[in-house]
Amino acid sequence: MPFYQHPHRPTFAAPLRSFAQDPDQALRQALPEAVIQRFAAEEGVTFGAQPNAVYTPPVTLWAFLTQVLSASKSCVAAVARVMVLCVALRRPPCAAGTGPSCKARAQLPERFLQRLTYHVGDGLEAQAEPAWLWHGRHVKLIDGTCLSAPATPANGQAYPQSTQQRPGLGFPMIRLVVILTFATAALVGVAYGPCQGPLTSELAV
């Protein structure tokens, strides 16, 4: 992905430098640039290759991370941070609208984000203090829940609403099962599927 190497474009080091307020640079240690770059290449994260593109994968990931971790989580605030980043890189400020940012974020493959999450979780568990372990063992906890999704035709097809609700009055329901580490509560696994129909129990998911 040669467009990452543009002299005035951020590489995947940009998201890491943005969280370097503490001397340990915890995020850079948890997600080294080489790991992010490798996952991006393996998952085909190649959008934003045009010379004038603002929302390249590094910028989009950076905006997403700052949006999640910042006290101001709105899309407007995320775009404002990208505008400041553009100025810092001596590039024209991006448009203030949130549409391009949201579209770019939707192009980050789910599998790419999932692998980044699991990498952080596995690394955190590997550094758990011996006293945190249960009889010296790395124990995993499994838990499940149900979530409602926006009532779009596509969601309704994939995730039918509860049979206890009248047709057309409920929301699509998603069954979610996660694997957490006992010592650190880090997320190291997830699966989801519909709540209704055959093979839709938490054990089946």
What was the pLDDT predicted at 100? Answer: 93
Candidates 189, 185, 186, 162; CA nearest to 177 is 189
Read off the pLDDT of each residue in 58-69 and give the average, rounded to a whole number.
88
Exposure string of 40-74, with b = 16+ CB inside 10 Å and e = fewer, is beebebebbeeeebbbbbbbbbbbbbbbeeeeeee
pLDDT tens digits, 167-185: 777 789 999 999 999 999 9
Contact between 123 and 116 (Cβ < 8 Å): no
What was the pLDDT predicted at 7? Answer: 45
pLDDT tens digits, 123-148: 999 999 999 999 999 999 999 999 99
What was the pLDDT predicted at 94? Answer: 87
pLDDT tens digits, 72-110: 889 999 999 899 888 887 888 888 899 999 999 999 999
Cα separation, 148 vs 182, whole angstroms: 27
Read off the pLDDT of each residue in 151-173 and give the average, rounded to a whole number.
83
Q: What are phi and psi of 6, to 5 degrees?
A: -55, 135
Contact between 128 and 184 (Cβ < 8 Å): yes
Contact between 9 and 56 (Cβ < 8 Å): yes
What was the pLDDT predicted at 131? Answer: 95
* DSSP H helical ranges for 46-152: 57-69, 75-88, 99-106, 110-126
- Can you give the C-alpha Rg of the chain in angstroms? 20
Candidates 72, 70, 64; CA nearest to 102 is 64
Cα separation, 45 vs 63, whole angstroms: 16
H or E segment and range at residue 42: helix 33-42
Q: Name the β-bridge partners of 142.
A: 179
Q: Binning pLDDT at 50, 70 and 90, where does residue 199 land?
A: low
What was the pLDDT predicted at 107? Answer: 95
Where in the chain are the domains?
2-111, 130-194
Contact between 195 and 170 (Cβ < 8 Å): no
Read off the pLDDT of each residue in 151-178 and give the average, rounded to a whole number.
85
Q: Binning pLDDT at 50, 70 and 90, where does residue 5 land?
A: very low
